Structure 1
Amino acid sequence: MQKAYEFDFVYDTQAAFRLLLEALSNPGRIVELGPLARKLGGAYAMPLTVAAVLLDNEVSFAVCGSPALAEKITELTLAKTAAVSKADYIFVTENADWQEAVQTAKCGTLRDPHKSATVILCTADLQAGKLQRISGPGIKAVQEIIMCPELQAALGKRDEQEYEYPLGLDFFVLDQRGCLMGIPRKTRIESR
């Protein structure tokens, strides 16, 4: 029997999960997801790796910018597609309209804050941008990171919505080089 992917959906998914957890637990830290993603191959290896970890037939997702990616995610995970406003996970491809994702994504309720969406933002290079200061849980005082313009704008738009604690959106940012960064819902961009 010939496998469709080199990616092992038991061991590689566990390894990728640990990397996602490390990225979200340490806001601004860049982790290398590329070696695992390359095992899936293709143009959408990075978002498909994240989808393989986070999605199953119990959750919904939306894709902004690529019907082909939506089809591949459904094929790989059996997750259901949904409107951006109802999706548990929102994948935003390069050059897609991230504003819709951030403005209309569900943010949970005070009773069920875990029912908020997670936005997976794809960019060419997550370190191609300006130096920014971030603060929040998981960060000692303030941390400086280089942030791509798409993420900076998306976080600014998220912050404009002034979600009441513990509501909000979590972000994962992926780039073509295989890098991953996690930004939890309570991480904020500080004024310089």
Structure 2
Amino acid sequence: MIGANQGTQTLYNTLTFRALLDALARPGKINQLELPHFAGEAPSYFSSACASHTPINMYALGALLTLLDRETTFIMAVNGQWLAHTETAVQWTILRSGSTALDADHARQAAFAFFCNGENSQMLAQLSVGTLLEPELSATAFYCVESLADAEKREELHGDFMTLELRGPGIQEVRIVNVEGLAKSDIEAILFARQSYPLGIDIYLVDRTGRCIGLPRTTKILVHSDDK
């Protein structure tokens, strides 16, 4: 049974890693992530929006685990605050990855940041954007959002959403993607972080059904509207 579980996890890691690479190589292309059933029940966080505990998006958390190892560092945030390393979600991630969790005072040293919801613009500004000599030292951030849909399927979205026009390497002319559950201030923070290219932060957006897009620092983003 242990061997079977290890085989399942290895296959999951391989498929997920490929999907994440493809997401950055083809910005705005919607990739479908698998659910990491082997990882167990999702940890939860307290949501100030609904005043209750909410399970973390396991598609996004599983994708993060694929990139973490004993040599990497990460930090997690929710409701505009960094989580202490003693929080359940952080301990859950440490246990399954062997990675090192950082606290608020060391956010700029984190290789990966995980935002449990889409209202953390002030936190993004605290992450590393790399240096001109070593831009690869920048952080990579995961945002958990409600829904993602391309231009032809925007009717699938039922709440307020933003329409993003994407241009740049990996995109033939232009790509349109609709995002529900991400604050406009977060997009503004992403754009601000990459205003001095090659500095910037690579972004993954993952929705509650496992749809994922990449927004590498090379991608130019224009917010069209948030109206249907």
1:59 maps to what in 2?
72
Partners in 1 of 2:147 and 2:215 — Cα distance?
16
1:122 equivalent in alignment to 2:122: no
For 1:91, the equivalent position in structure 2 comes to 114
Shift of residue 188 of structure 1? 1.9
Please say if 1:178 is aligned against 2:210.
yes
Q: Which residue of structure 1 lines up, in the alignment, with residue 9 of structure 2?
A: 9
Bigger mean CA deviation after superposition, 69-78 or 150-159? 150-159
After superposition, residues 21-100 of structure 1 pair within 5 angstroms as: 21-33=21-33, 35-43=34-42, 44=56, 45-65=58-78, 67-82=87-102, 83-94=106-117, 97-100=119-122
For residues 15 and 99 of structure 2, the distance between their equivalents in structure 1, rounded to whole angstroms, comes to 21
Alignment partners' CA distance in 2, 1:123 and 1:191: 16
Higher mean alpha-carbon deviation, 16-25 vs 135-144, is at 135-144
2:124 to 95, 102, 105: 102
Q: Runs ≥4 in structure 1, deviation > 4 angstroms?
A: 1-7
- Cα contact 1:26–1:138 (8 A) shared by 2: yes
Aligned letter for 1:101?
Answer: M
Aligned residues: 190
Mapped partners of 2:174, 2:183: distance in 1: 18
Q: Does the C-alpha gap of structure 1 residues 151 and 113 become closer, same or farther in structure 2, counting only changes over 3 Å? A: farther
65-74 or 167-176, which deviates more: 65-74
Amino acid at match of 1:32: Q
TM-score (normalised: structure 1): 0.86
Where does residue 143 of structure 1 map in the other structure? 175
Deviation digits for residues 51-100 of structure 1 (CA, Å, limit 9, x no counterpart): 221110111000002632211111011110113222110000026x4113
Give the fraction of aligned pairs with identical amino acids, expressed as a percent.
26
Q: Which has the higher Rg, Structure 1 or Structure 2?
A: 2
In the other structure, the counterpart of 1:153 is 185
Looking at structure 2, the residues matched to 131 and 63 of structure 1 have their Cα atoms a distance apart, in angstroms, of 26
d(CA) in 1 for partners of 2:28 and 2:69? 27
**CA distances 1:18-74 after superposition (whole Å, capped 9, x unpaired):** 1111111111111111x3434434234223311221110111000002632211111
Distance 2:100 2:38 in 1: 24
Give the stretch that moved more between structures: 111-120 or 66-75. 66-75
How many angstroms does 1:123 deviate by? Answer: 1.7
Q: Would you say the 8 A contact 1:151–1:173 is kept in 2?
A: no
